[in-house]
């Protein structure tokens, strides 16, 4: 995405997605997109990940998941802000909402991608019933995709911002889970030795 936007300077994909969104713009759809967009807003993500962390920490067998939520939410936010400063892409001038800050990569897509991706990971690891596991996974995936599309529909991000955000968020999530699982195994081995 960075190569497409900053090296090739191609705007064809972004323009096509804005045209697609414009083809079904209506007051009702705009209200819906604003509502969906809230579920990865700063106000939402300042409250919900810490709340999820507290709930998971209450259960001894889920405490490592609680730590993952806390660490991954915090670090993905910091990484997103760092990447925005590196690329310094202004937001679209046609935005339907007043938004401050830079555009690339989308914070809603990147931080939302890591947070909801982590929830999917937790659901997959902890929900034993296949029906509920698949249902929750599909619902969380749909919500995440709709959040990304809402940012394009509302013209507060280019489509390339959203795709870059999803890519960076999911990549950071996978890297973080890998290293935190390594840390968890080391910690558990030390606990077992002390108990012996």
Tokens 């700063």 correspond to what residue?
42
96-to-36, 119, 136 alpha-carbon distances in Å: 14, 30, 31
Token duo for residue 107: 């914070």
Could you count the other beta carbons within 10 Å of the beta carbon of residue 106?
A: 31
Could you count the other beta carbons within 10 Å of the beta carbon of residue 67?
A: 16
Token duo for residue 145: 């995709």
Listed by start position, the domains of the chain span 2-195
**Model confidence over 74-113: pLDDT tens digits?**
999 999 999 989 888 888 887 777 777 788 888 889 999 9
Sign of the torsion angle spanned by Cα atoms 159, 161, 165, 168 = positive
DSSP-assigned letter for residue 92: P
Please state the pTM of the whole predicted model. 0.88
**Model confidence over 168-183: pLDDT tens digits?**
999 999 999 998 888 8
Token duo for residue 51: 């709340």
Q: 105 preceded by cis ω (within 30°)?
A: yes
- Return d(Cα 143, Cα 128) in angstroms, integer: 22
Which CATH class, in words, describes the domain spanning 2-195? Answer: mainly alpha
């Amino acid at each position: 995405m960075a190569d497409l936007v900053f090296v090739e300077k191609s705007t064809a994909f972004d323009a096509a997605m804005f045209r697609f969104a414009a083809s079904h713009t209506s007051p009702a759809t705009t209200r819906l997109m604003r509502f969906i967009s809230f579920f990865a807003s700063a106000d939402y993500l300042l409250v919900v990940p810490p709340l999820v962390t507290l709930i998971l920490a209450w259960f001894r067998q889920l405490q490592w998941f609680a730590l993952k939520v806390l660490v991954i939410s915090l670090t993905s936010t910091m990484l997103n802000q760092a990447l925005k400063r590196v690329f310094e892409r202004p937001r679209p001038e046609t935005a339907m909402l007043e938004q401050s800050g830079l555009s690339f990569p989308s914070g809603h897509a990147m931080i939302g991608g890591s947070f909801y991706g982590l929830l999917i990971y937790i659901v997959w690891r902890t929900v034993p019933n296949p029906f509920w596991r698949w249902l929750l996974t599909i619902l969380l995936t749909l919500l995440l995709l709709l959040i990304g599309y809402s940012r394009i529909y509302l013209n507060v991000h280019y489509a390339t911002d959203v795709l870059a955000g999803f890519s960076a968020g999911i990549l950071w999530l996978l890297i973080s889970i890998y290293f935190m699982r390594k840390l968890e195994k080391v910690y558990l081995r030390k606990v077992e030795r002390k108990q012996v």
